[in-house]
């Protein structure tokens, strides 16, 4: 399952330059497609096998063997892995198909598919790894591919800068991850998932709690870097410089969810460190709200989607942090479908508009882009949490309910989450309205070229739209009027059961209050208000937003400048770093010591020594002979003297 993308990447990477486009796309999509087929096959085999729900572990070869540290290249396959691999491969395959159309007229066709396949390989390594070191390989691998793909248009300075920013900011998180893993090894003398999890599960109540809290916080730092949570989210909006399929695959559906996967996979560790888990939940909730407010005023379609991604990732962490890991993973899955759909549809719009992303220059596109409009609408409904037809409704509602009544749930988290749900509905419908409805604000020249994308791009859109609707139906909530069984949660119970049970033991008292029906009702109302206000403001009386922006100019300015976080980081970190680098490291250390003293010094001393010594090289043969003789005589004297 893991290997076909790697083979595809190798083939395209080495020979792709000479292949025609059709061969490249055949190899690229073939790699992803085969991988999807294998993922489906292994899911089927695993479901049939007698051993399930226990994890299936198969070691292929020993990778590291150093002292106590033993890491195999091994597969760890349980129900969580099954869901992750299916989500990743299906979305990846569809995006590969879409890219065939999208990248047709862009340069570097083979390079793009090489990176994409390599990314898929790394992502699958990440989710199927059986130990932390191997997971780290995939973790860094996807980071690398993300860097390469963000900076895909490497001739554009902003793109290569964005790539570097993403790489460096996630590096901060990775440092946390590495230290956390080291601490884990120091405590448990193993990094193997199974060994570590059994040992942690066997701990008595509160055992090793301080160490586990530190580990949990450090792992979460890594997750926050990768999954763009506060305070390390700043790289994700800039990452939109990459080609749109990349934004969809890496920065919406798969890579950024790796952090959530890490937290969910380590659920048992977090269960024994409830304070770390509480931090996860609070940060997730704050991020969701924070990014949601920024998204309100974004005019760039892709950037709005990026902030929305950050916000939704915040939801996933909120779910995990409240102790309902299954809800977090559920939202991860549904989000992967509808958010990649949103991005791909945005890409289709961009394609039609000749690269224009400013929503103020769109409007009324639904007549020209029928398929795109329909799929975008479905995805918007899904993300906004419209009941029944939107997958996001089911997963988000489960998270919100968990935030209220989960083991670590707090009413405040619930209310903030519900408010964010309203914001989400508002900004998504605002985007929809500005792009597809109302009067056309398209510039005449662009309007002339406006066209629906080819079937290569629209078919993946339709498939994803299908998934965006039905993905939610796998798990009906228990509440009236659905009376479902939460099948998804029960399916993942063998994976998260121990963690949830441990958490429940720890906080037996339960905050009553609102019934589940009421909780769901509030989130529906919030979404409804969001949708209604958005449609009213942006379709009916379109002057209200402007009036509001004028009246609350300060707030509006802060929001459009994204709370000045980038500027703050510049002032706090980048600027001092630059000053220190320039004044001290460059002028004193580099120019002063290294350049002048060492490099130039070495050169000058050699050449001046040579200047003296060259006197000897007179070119006069007898003088050479005299030197030889002198040397021989001195040598003999030395020998006699030391007898």
Partner 1 sequence: MNMVPLSHYLALSVILFVLGAAGFIFRRNIITVFMCIELMLNAVNLAFIAFSRFLGNLDGQIFVFFVIVVAAAEAAVGLAIIIALHRNRASLNIEDVDSMKM
Going by C-alpha positions, the residue among 536, 528, 555, 563 that lies closest to residue 424 is: 528
- Tell the smallest beta-carbon distance from residue 624 to partner 1 (Å): 10
Smaller CB separation from partner 1, 487 or 629: 629
CB-side exposure of 638: number of CA atoms within 13 Å? Answer: 6
| 558-597 footprint of partner 1 as x/- string (CB under 8 A) | ----------------------------------------
Contact 372, 123 (CB under 8 A): no
| 200-239 footprint of partner 1 as x/- string (CB under 8 A) | ----------------------------------------
- Tell the smallest beta-carbon distance from residue 629 to partner 1 (Å): 6
- Tell the smallest beta-carbon distance from residue 625 to partner 1 (Å): 5
DSSP 88-138: HHHHHHHHHHHHHHHTTTSS-HHHHHHHHHHHHHHHHHHHHBSBHHHHHHH
- Tell the smallest beta-carbon distance from residue 618 to partner 1 (Å): 6
DSSP 601-616: HHHHHHHHHHHHHTTT
- Tell the smallest beta-carbon distance from residue 585 to partner 1 (Å): 40
**N-to-C CA span, the chain:** 77
Contact 143, 170 (CB under 8 A): yes
- Tell the smallest beta-carbon distance from residue 621 to partner 1 (Å): 6
- Tell the smallest beta-carbon distance from residue 13 to partner 1 (Å): 50
Total chain residues near partner 1 (CB under 8 A):
10
- Tell the smallest beta-carbon distance from residue 612 to partner 1 (Å): 13
Smaller CB separation from partner 1, 204 or 619: 619
Backbone angles phi, psi at 137, to 5 degrees: -60, -50
Going by C-alpha positions, the residue among 43, 32, 40 that lies closest to residue 6 is: 32
- Tell the smallest beta-carbon distance from residue 566 to partner 1 (Å): 60
Smaller CB separation from partner 1, 15 or 626: 626
Smaller CB separation from partner 1, 616 or 641: 616
- Tell the smallest beta-carbon distance from residue 639 to partner 1 (Å): 16
Smaller CB separation from partner 1, 547 or 623: 623
Smaller CB separation from partner 1, 65 or 618: 618
What is the C-alpha to C-alpha distance for residues 283 and 131, in angstroms, rounded to an integer? 26
- What one-character DSSP code corresponds to residue 438? S
Going by C-alpha positions, the residue among 317, 291, 312, 313 that lies closest to residue 303 is: 291
Smaller CB separation from partner 1, 48 or 620: 620
Q: Which residue is it, tokens 């004044």? A: 583
Smaller CB separation from partner 1, 51 or 617: 617
Sites for partner 1 among residues 75-114 (CB under 8 A): none
- Tell the smallest beta-carbon distance from residue 623 to partner 1 (Å): 8
The helix (run of H) or strand (run of E) holding residue 490 is: helix 487-506
What is the C-alpha to C-alpha distance for residues 385 and 381, in angstroms, rounded to an integer? 6
Contact 378, 477 (CB under 8 A): no
CB-side exposure of 110: number of CA atoms within 13 Å? Answer: 17
Smaller CB separation from partner 1, 205 or 607: 607
Smaller CB separation from partner 1, 612 or 621: 621
DSSP 27-86: HHHHHHHHHHHHHHHHHHHHHHSTTTTSPEEEEEEEEEEETTEEEEEEEEESHHHHHHHH
Residues of the chain by 3-state class (helix, strand, coil), percent to 5 = 75, 5, 20
Contact 157, 129 (CB under 8 A): no
CB-side exposure of 3: number of CA atoms within 13 Å? Answer: 2
Smaller CB separation from partner 1, 596 or 617: 617
- Tell the smallest beta-carbon distance from residue 603 to partner 1 (Å): 18
Smaller CB separation from partner 1, 579 or 609: 609
- Tell the smallest beta-carbon distance from residue 635 to partner 1 (Å): 15
Indicate the SS3 state at residue 192: strand
| 593-632 footprint of partner 1 as x/- string (CB under 8 A) | ---------------------x--xxxxxx--xx--x---
Sites for partner 1 among residues 493-512 (CB under 8 A): none
Which residue intervals of 189-208 are DSSP H helices?
193-201
What is the C-alpha to C-alpha distance for residues 405 and 11, in angstroms, rounded to an integer? 51
Smaller CB separation from partner 1, 508 or 611: 611
Sites of contact with partner 1 (CB under 8 A): 614, 617-622, 625-626, 629
């Amino acid at each position: 399952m893991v290997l076909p993308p790697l083979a595809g990447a190798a083939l395209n990477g080495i020979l792709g330059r000479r292949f025609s486009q059709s061969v490249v796309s055949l190899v690229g999509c073939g790699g992803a497609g085969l991988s999807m087929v294998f993922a489906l096959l292994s899911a089927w085999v695993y479901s049939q096998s007698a051993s399930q729900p226990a994890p299936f572990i198969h070691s292929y070869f020993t990778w590291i063997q150093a002292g106590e540290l033993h890491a195999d290249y091994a597969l760890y396959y349980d129900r969580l892995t099954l869901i992750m691999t299916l989500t990743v491969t299906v979305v990846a395959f569809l995006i590969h198909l879409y890219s065939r159309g999208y990248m047709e007229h862009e340069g570097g066709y083979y390079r793009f598919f090489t990176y994409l396949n390599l990314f898929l390989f790394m992502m699958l390594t990440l989710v199927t790894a059986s130990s932390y070191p191997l997971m780290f390989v995939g973790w860094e691998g996807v980071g690398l591919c993300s860097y390469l793909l963000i900076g895909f248009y490497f001739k554009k300075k902003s793109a290569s800068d964005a790539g570097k920013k993403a790489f460096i900011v996630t590096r901060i998180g990775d440092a946390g991850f590495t230290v956390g893993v080291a601490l884990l090894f120091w405590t448990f003398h193993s990094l193997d998932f199974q060994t570590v999890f059994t040992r942690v599960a066997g701990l008595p109540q509160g055992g090793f709690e301080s160490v586990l809290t530190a580990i949990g916080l450090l792992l979460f730092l890594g997750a926050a870097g990768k999954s763009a949570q506060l305070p390390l989210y700043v790289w994700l909006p800039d990452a939109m410089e990459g080609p749109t399929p990349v934004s969809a695959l890496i920065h919406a559906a798969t890579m950024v969810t790796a952090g959530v996967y890490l937290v969910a996979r380590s659920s048992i560790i977090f269960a024994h460190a409830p304070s770390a888990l509480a931090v996860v939940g609070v940060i997730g909730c704050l991020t969701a709200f924070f990014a949601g407010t920024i998204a309100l005023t974004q005019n760039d379609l892709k950037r709005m989607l990026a902030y929305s991604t950050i916000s939704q990732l915040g939801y996933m962490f909120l779910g995990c942090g409240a102790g309902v890991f299954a809800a977090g993973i559920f939202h991860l899955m549904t989000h992967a479908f509808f958010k990649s759909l949103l991005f791909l549809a945005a890409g289709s719009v961009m394609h039609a508009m000749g690269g224009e992303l400013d929503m103020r220059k769109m409007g009324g596109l639904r007549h020209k882009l029928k398929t795109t409009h329909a799929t975008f609408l479905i995805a918007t409904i899904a993300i906004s949490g419209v009941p029944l037809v939107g997958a996001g409704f089911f997963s988000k509602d489960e998270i919100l309910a968990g935030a209220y009544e989960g083991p670590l749930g707090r009413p405040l988290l619930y209310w903030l989450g519900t408010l964010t749900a309203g914001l989400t509905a508002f900004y998504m419908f605002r985007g929809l309205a500005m792009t597809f409805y109302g009067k056309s604000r398209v510039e005449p020249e662009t309007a002339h070229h406006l066209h629906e994308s080819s079937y290569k791009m629209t078919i993946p859109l339709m498939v994803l739209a299908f998934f965006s609707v039905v993905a939610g139906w796998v798990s009906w909530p228990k509440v009236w009027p659905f009376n479902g069984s939460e099948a998804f949660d029960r399916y993942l119970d063998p994976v998260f059961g121990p963690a949830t049970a441990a958490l429940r033991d720890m906080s037996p008292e339960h905050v009553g209050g609102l019934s589940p029906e009421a909780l769901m009702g509030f989130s529906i109302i919030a979404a409804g208000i969001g949708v209604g206000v958005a449609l009213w403001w942006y379709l009916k009386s379109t002057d209200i937003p402007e009036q509001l922006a004028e009246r609350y100019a300060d707030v509006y300015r802060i929001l459009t400048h994204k709370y000045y976080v980038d500027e703050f980081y510049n002032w706090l970190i980048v600027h001092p770093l630059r000053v220190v680098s320039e004044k001290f490291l460059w002028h004193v250390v580099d120019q002063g010591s290294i350049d002048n003293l060492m490099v130039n010094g070495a050169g000058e001393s050699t050449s001046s020594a040579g200047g003296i010594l060259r006197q000897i090289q007179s070119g006069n043969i007898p003088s050479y002979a005299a030197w030889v003789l002198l040397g021989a005589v001195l040598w003999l004297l030395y020998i006699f003297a030391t007898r």
